[in-house]
């Protein structure tokens, strides 16, 4: 018997398209210090795509990652429900997983969000939920009152 397809599963051609768009976005990266350009393409549940690139700053703590740039663009346009994000680093074929800060920001919008990275072997893209990349995450549900005593 075939396994049921998860509701947030992405067809391989969609994952490939998002990786292509992330590579295009990477071309706009401002990375004069690390020389590590990163691009991201964020897919909303409504089918819209927002791209982002990393933007470095001489005051390193002010640097913003590609994933957070894409999220900021999407949220500033009213999007709140995301399906997937593709992330690419300087080498097209090597996986480039979101950093810890980006994982936390992405998790904010749902543990089912799919993260797409190149496979590193020229095969199908790697696709995994953000909850896998951020186990025991701190999310919005944690801030809800649960049986508080007076």
Q: Which residue segments constitute the domains of the chain, with CATH numbers given?
A: 12-135 (3.40.140.10)
Three-state DSSP class for 107? helix
Q: Are the C-beta atoms of 137 and 113 separated by less than 8 Å?
A: no
69: how many CB neighbours lie within 10 A of its CB? 24
Respond yes or no: is residue 67 known to be catalytic.
yes
Q: How far apart are CA 136 and CA 127, in angstroms?
A: 19
What is the pTM assigned to this prediction? 0.89
pLDDT, tens digit (0-9, with 9 covering 90-100), for 17-67 = 999 999 999 999 999 999 999 999 999 999 999 999 999 999 999 999 999
Q: What is the pLDDT of residue 124?
A: 81
Q: How far apart are CA 18 and CA 24, in angstroms?
A: 10
Point out the catalytic residue in the list 67, 77, 121, 124.
67
């Amino acid at each position: 018997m075939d396994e049921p397809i998860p509701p947030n599963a992405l067809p391989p051609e969609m994952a490939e398209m998002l990786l292509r768009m992330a590579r295009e976005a990477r071309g706009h990266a401002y990375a004069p210090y690390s020389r590590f350009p990163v691009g991201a393409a964020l897919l909303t549940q409504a089918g819209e795509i927002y791209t982002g690139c990393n933007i470095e700053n001489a005051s390193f703590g002010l640097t913003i990652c590609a994933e957070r740039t894409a999220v900021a663009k999407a949220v500033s346009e009213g999007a709140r429900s995301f399906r997937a994000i593709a992330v690419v680093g300087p080498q097209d074929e090597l996986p480039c997983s979101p950093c810890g800060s980006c994982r936390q920001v992405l998790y904010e919008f749902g543990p089912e969000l799919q993260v797409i990275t190149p496979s590193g072997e020229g095969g199908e893209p790697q696709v995994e939920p953000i909850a896998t990349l951020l186990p025991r995450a701190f999310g919005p549900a944690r801030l809800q009152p649960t049986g508080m005593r007076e």
